[in-house]
Structure 1
């Protein structure tokens, strides 16, 4: 027993961190260096057997003249290696003090072999309302700014990403005037080809998953940093029609004080787990904002988020299990 403890101590001492064996929603989530993961408002793509998680870098001590996007990699979704800040961008379009880069999402374009990052680009007063694009030859950067635009001429603030089972790439964006849009990306992913749906609901934090023949869409109300009851709807096609929106959790929990950012589908040899990825924002201590990741109860047109508790996942089999406390 003493020998085992000594070995464990040496492993932690040499590597700087202990292996995460569970996902603990709402807790500090250490990376391979022992630092709390900084990937807020983020998104994930899978390349071969590796997951890449991109998000807003909100650590203390960052140069206020720049905006940062971090990248982490993992093969098990529980232990994450910090790959560095893949974006360190100064004001790209003379947006002025307090300019905004939020909710980065990365797509891999096989024909061009480019990694294409979309993000919300805005002025301090949120009136610019555009998507920005940066590209890289590698998943872990560096990403070079290309341009910004308003998709199909519409305002765009919060964005979400969705890659269907056939590999087709879509962007979800929030338009204060109309609702939220689901649009298909052009072949090179550098522009929008067409609109699939306009969901006439005042929702942001859009996330979509395709599960057993149905599309499930999640969004949160427009309450800024403050959490609210996230809602979901379903459709047989991305073109709709979409069902009535319903709560994904008890309304008084305000989605367990979180806001949706993505639904990640893990398809394994035995089962499929759909993970609700959300942020628990701390606007006055953004570096300490946490992540609420939980398996969803999903199927037959129903979707439900249970009370957060520690859990683990086997990405090979697709099975998850909750950990007794």
Structure 2
């Protein structure tokens, strides 16, 4: 009798546990900027300082894995996959490196961005590689045969001999890959990658502004470049400039949100173009950093108002996106 009661209790508990996990992982119908963003397991997405790479109809989101139970000697990059930019499936940690170049305690791997080389069929990850004093200032490269496969460390270097800290990525409409990097002595570099994405082909532009968190999008004949001031973890007024070609000349930088909001507490990491059958939406992707509880850092994703040389990030709020149509709908609570 006792055994039967224990069996029933166990079955009931497992049923409630499965129900709870199912509820946590229920399908989302909207993006809620600044809130906890659960993945398919119900866990908060850990893809900080990240980038998005689209492969056919699937988006892959790579970012810094910051959960609490990580091995302190390793640095991790997580990967998530989605077809709707709203519901994300955890594909695992595609990077779990120990110190690759004897950089010492508290070595740094930040802002991973993945390019696909049509020439080689490889997925190439760039990231900021540094020591604890930020004096190494290089980009690291890792490669994989699959977008969600394990990436193998390849090398590090300084692009064209320049210091490189925060990096960003841009894929132009013709598929050409570009790296954006912050160089403390000189400014904001835009460089074109080689066809195999393993090196720099040439410098395209040097914008003499000291900015990090760089991102670029091409929209209706204009290039829009955005970046963040150098204030560490603290948010600041992100700004943008425009040009008719990547080579410039670039306009003066202007605020992309009300200055007093400090970009609504976020820092830029990517401008994502979602081109659909009816329209094209440009999403601002930013990080809301929590330096003391990094695992709880949030994301500010929001459609921008863009066109005719103007770029504006509106007050964040819940919205729905239809990637097939390229449209968004703001939700009024």
Relative to the length of structure 2, the TM-score reads 0.94
Residue of structure 2 aligned with 1:242, choices 244, 250, 254: 250
Residue of structure 2 aligned with 1:285, choices 278, 287, 293: 293
Could you tell me how far 1:302 is from its partner in structure 2?
Answer: 0.2
Relative to the length of structure 1, the TM-score reads 0.96
Residue of structure 2 aligned with 1:223, choices 231, 239, 246: 231
- Could you tell me which residue of structure 1 aligns to residue 14 of structure 2? none
Residue of structure 2 aligned with 1:186, choices 170, 194, 200: 194
CA separation in 2, counterparts of 1:195 and 1:91?
29
CA separation in 2, counterparts of 1:184 and 1:197?
10
CA separation in 2, counterparts of 1:10 and 1:192?
50
Preserved contact between residue 224 and residue 240 of structure 2 (Cα < 8 Å): yes
Residue of structure 2 aligned with 1:254, choices 233, 241, 262: 262
Matched, 1:54 2:73: no
Could you tell me how far 1:137 is from its partner in structure 2?
Answer: 0.1
Could you tell me how far 1:324 is from its partner in structure 2?
Answer: 1.4
Matched, 1:104 2:101: no
- Could you tell me which residue of structure 2 aligns to residue 64 of structure 1? 72
Could you tell me how far 1:18 is from its partner in structure 2?
Answer: 1.0
Could you tell me how far 1:288 is from its partner in structure 2?
Answer: 0.2
Residue of structure 2 aligned with 1:165, choices 170, 173, 195: 173
Output one character per residue of 1:13-58: Cα deviation in whole Å (capped at 9) or x when no partner. 5475111110000000000000000000000011000000000000
Residue of structure 2 aligned with 1:197, choices 194, 205, 211: 205
Matched, 1:91 2:94: no
- Could you tell me which residue of structure 2 aligns to residue 276 of structure 1? 284
Is the alpha carbon distance of 1:297 and 1:158 closer, same or farther for their aligned partners in structure 2, counting shifts above 3 Å?
same
- Could you tell me which residue of structure 1 aligns to residue 51 of structure 2? 43
Could you tell me how far 1:284 is from its partner in structure 2?
Answer: 0.2
Aligned-pair RMSD on alpha carbons?
1.2
5+ residue gaps, structure 1, are: 1-8
5+ residue gaps, structure 2, are: 1-16
Preserved contact between residue 279 and residue 289 of structure 1 (Cα < 8 Å): yes
Is the alpha carbon distance of 1:131 and 1:13 closer, same or farther for their aligned partners in structure 2, counting shifts above 3 Å?
closer
Residue of structure 2 aligned with 1:305, choices 304, 309, 313: 313
Moved over 4 A (4+): 9-16
CA separation in 2, counterparts of 1:282 and 1:204?
18
Residue of structure 1 aligned with 2:143, choices 115, 135, 153: 135
**Secondary structure of the corresponding residue to residue 291 of structure 2:** coil
CA separation in 1, counterparts of 2:122 and 2:19?
37
Residue of structure 2 aligned with 1:323, choices 301, 314, 331: 331
Output one character per residue of 1:218-242: Cα deviation in whole Å (capped at 9) or x when no partner. 0000000000000000000000000
State the number of aligned residues. 317
- Could you tell me which residue of structure 2 aligns to residue 3 of structure 1? none
CA separation in 2, counterparts of 1:107 and 1:187?
10
